[in-house]
Amino acid sequence: MNGTSAAVSLPTGFAGVDPPETWPRPLTFPRPERLEAAVENLHGVGPALARRLARIGIEQVGDLFWQRPRRYEEPVPGKRISDLFGEDEAVIEVEVRSVSSRRRGRLKILTARVADSSGEIKATWFNQPWLEERLKPGTKIRLRGRANRFGFAVSSYDLEGEAETADFAPVYPASEDLSQKKLRELRAQALELVRDTGEPLPAALRAREGLPLKADALAALHRPRSLAEAETGRVRLAFEELLVLQVALARTAAERERSSAEPLPRAGELIERYRASLPFTLTSDQERAMAEIDADLLRSTPMLRLLHGEVGSGKTVVALYALLRAVEAGRQSTLMAPTETLAEQHFLTIDELCTPLGVRVSLLTSSLGARERNTVRQLIASGDAPLVVGTHALIQQEVDFRDLAVAVVDEQHRFGVGQRTALVEGRNPHVLHLTATPIPRTLALTVFGDLDTSELALPPADRKPVVTGWVTEDRSSEAYQRLRRHLDEGRQAYVVCPLIEESETKVARAAEAEAERLRSAELKGYRVGCLHGRLRPAERRSVMAAFKARELDVLVATTVIEVGVDVPNATIMIVQEADRFGLAQLHQLRGRVGRGAEQSYCLLVSRAREELTESAAERLEAMVETTDGFVLAERDLEIRGEGQLLGARQSGLSDLRFVRLRLDGELIERARDAARRMDDEGLLADEADRLLGEAEHLGES
């Protein structure tokens, strides 16, 4: 690890003596740069393990600190073998007598005869063949597990010490290829550097709030002697996160107060025609959201409103309403989407609705040729493009609106304070954010603070909840049978390909291959199209258009269909290897069906139950149990920990790793109070800057 020292300038105490170039560093001086070293610097971490760690967000040594244990092992009594009774968990300290192993199907079973002074028992491990050679007769070992009629089923073991089998050993969100043992081992190494985290909170504040030092809090979190100790540590860390967030929020709120926007006149003739042209009656939630937007647009402070509603709840109609309000006033509006596919999809939908109204819609994406792009930019600059749909990045970086009045930001699950300010800078449009991420109330208050929200709680009346089933691979033929029945009735279907975490190109190739396979197997005789991120935009558009026009029966797709795709005649979806997807992602995918009046189905196909991690099984169960996005969000919180609620794509803002939103209401208040007192002093300003900066940066990527 390298040790470039932070420049420290100290006054010299002796007049007339030249100070040394640098002062020697006191031994206890924190060296945060050691935490920025790559994880490969830890013992036992090679490139392969580093890659697996990177996949769960651990790249630097310090990253090991910022992941909260899911839970802690229960305290269990140490027992003698002869006292083991029933199936209660226990710890035994024993000596190995002999070892043997065998296979049963894909399962590798390792058995050791172990003994203490009271007796002997057969201990079993599953799928840990490498252990065999370490269990030489005579080896002393500590086992945690349960006695059953076959012997002692081992859940964790220690050959030395008690790290694994101890009471309150932390249980981390593991992945299939990363064991608890490894994660604990790496944490133990990282904890030796815990003092290098330094202490950002001033002593007076810590004293007032009764909070321990950051380093102590981290040590308690990752190696507690009791649950109370772990909780004290967590609260200290959560407090700091909330404090930084509140300082950042206070700052953007102040900025917004200072800015002003031009009010829009009341809705008129164009809006009337728009309403009349819709082929359905608006729901009361949609009406209310529109009224709230109307009220905002009358004010001379820029609108900053979040419209949230489940996938399929009808946000687009409301968004277009806001856009047309600007057009009607002779001004400009824009809708920004996070991806090209989504921008194109929005464009198709909006263009269809606007053409009969005589409103011209322009599309601006990086897939346009340079000439075309230039033309669009000129139209925008001259004010001749009243309504522009494009990707966030392009619109923020390349475009100079002549008179932008309303901006709709379709963020899906990425949002942040910084992004909001970035758009507003220099011009002050009214801004409406759309999100399908179900946001628990506490989170909305915490993360958005000053943001107004409108909610589409009830879906359009003719919707039936999607029926969801979960089958394992060996029964996938039944799923396809069901799918074919829908096709034979004139409906359409999606098949979602497994998630591969490699290059987009590999994902695309796998999807093509799967489509080809299905064409000659399960879906023989049907018209099968394929949609993935490597198609050229024109190809992608023509596949989508063909599916919409019912020239294709089935769309085999990667997660590019996750958002925005809207074909009400598609009534069934099969998700292959569904256990690999996150809960939020599955929920988004499922939202592609159930968009019409027909009963729709979502069939999740997974690997065999024994092969699934605990959390994968929990995710699939949750999907079957409910279609309520709020319930799923809560479950996701429980399964993954709060901070990751909003998905890995989240900006810095939502990285609340230690906050437990459902429990920390009071802590949020305390942090808010503390932030108010601190703002004057400018404390934590750097952290707040970083947070805002990070969010901005992510918003542009």
- Choosing from 30, 151, 233, 309, the residue that interacts with ligand ADP (CB under 6 A) is 309
- Of 223 and 595, CB closest to ligand ADP: 595
Please, what is the minimum distance in Å from the beta carbon of residue 379 to ligand ADP?
Answer: 26
- Residue 647's region, left for phi above 0, alpha for psi from -120 to 50, else beta, is left
- Residue 426's region, left for phi above 0, alpha for psi from -120 to 50, else beta, is left
- Choosing from 83, 257, 280, 649, the residue that interacts with ligand ADP (CB under 6 A) is 280
- Choosing from 314, 418, 438, 594, the residue that interacts with ligand ADP (CB under 6 A) is 314
- Choosing from 253, 282, 445, 663, the residue that interacts with ligand ADP (CB under 6 A) is 282
The C-alpha angle 456, 457, 458, rounded to 5 degrees, equals: 100
Based on the shown chain and the rule CB under 6 A, indicate whether residue 311 belongs to the binding site for ligand ADP: yes
Based on the shown chain and the rule CB under 6 A, indicate whether residue 594 belongs to the binding site for ligand ADP: no
Please, what is the minimum distance in Å from the beta carbon of residue 501 to ligand ADP?
Answer: 26
Binding mask 227-266 for ligand ADP (x = CB under 6 A): ----------------------------------------
Based on the shown chain and the rule CB under 6 A, indicate whether residue 433 belongs to the binding site for ligand ADP: no
The token pair at 393 is 């990045």
Say if strands 528-531 and 404-410 run parallel, antiparallel, or are unpaired.
Answer: unpaired
- Of 126 and 280, CB closest to ligand ADP: 280
Based on the shown chain and the rule CB under 6 A, indicate whether residue 584 belongs to the binding site for ligand ADP: no
Per-residue CA distances from 630 to 310, 469, 486, 621, 649 (Å): 9, 20, 29, 15, 19
> Binding to ligand ADP (CB under 6 A): which residues in 317-356?
317
Phi and psi at residue 569, to the nearest 5°:
-75, -10
For residue 356, what are the contacts with CB-CB under 8 A and spacing of at least 6? 277
Based on the shown chain and the rule CB under 6 A, indicate whether residue 595 belongs to the binding site for ligand ADP: yes
- Of 310 and 664, CB closest to ligand ADP: 310
Binding mask 445-484 for ligand ADP (x = CB under 6 A): ---------------x------------------------
Starting at the edge strand found earlier in the chain, the sheet holding 430-435 runs 361-364, 387-391, 332-337, 404-410, 430-435, 304-309, 452-456
User: CB count, 10 Å around CB of 237?
Assistant: 22
- Of 222 and 305, CB closest to ligand ADP: 305
In whole angstroms, what is the distance from residue 653 CA to residue 636 CA? 18
User: CB count, 10 Å around CB of 11?
Assistant: 5
- Of 444 and 458, CB closest to ligand ADP: 458
User: CB count, 10 Å around CB of 344?
Assistant: 22
In whole angstroms, what is the distance from residue 574 CA to residue 585 CA? 14
Please, what is the minimum distance in Å from the beta carbon of residue 122 to ligand ADP?
Answer: 55
The identity of residue 186, as a single letter, is L
- Choosing from 167, 229, 241, 566, the residue that interacts with ligand ADP (CB under 6 A) is 566
Based on the shown chain and the rule CB under 6 A, indicate whether residue 590 belongs to the binding site for ligand ADP: no
Please, what is the minimum distance in Å from the beta carbon of residue 569 to ligand ADP?
Answer: 10
Radius of gyration of the chain (CA): 29
Please, what is the minimum distance in Å from the beta carbon of residue 584 to ligand ADP?
Answer: 14
Name the residues that contact ligand ADP, by CB under 6 A: 280, 282-283, 286, 309, 311-317, 436, 460, 566, 568, 595
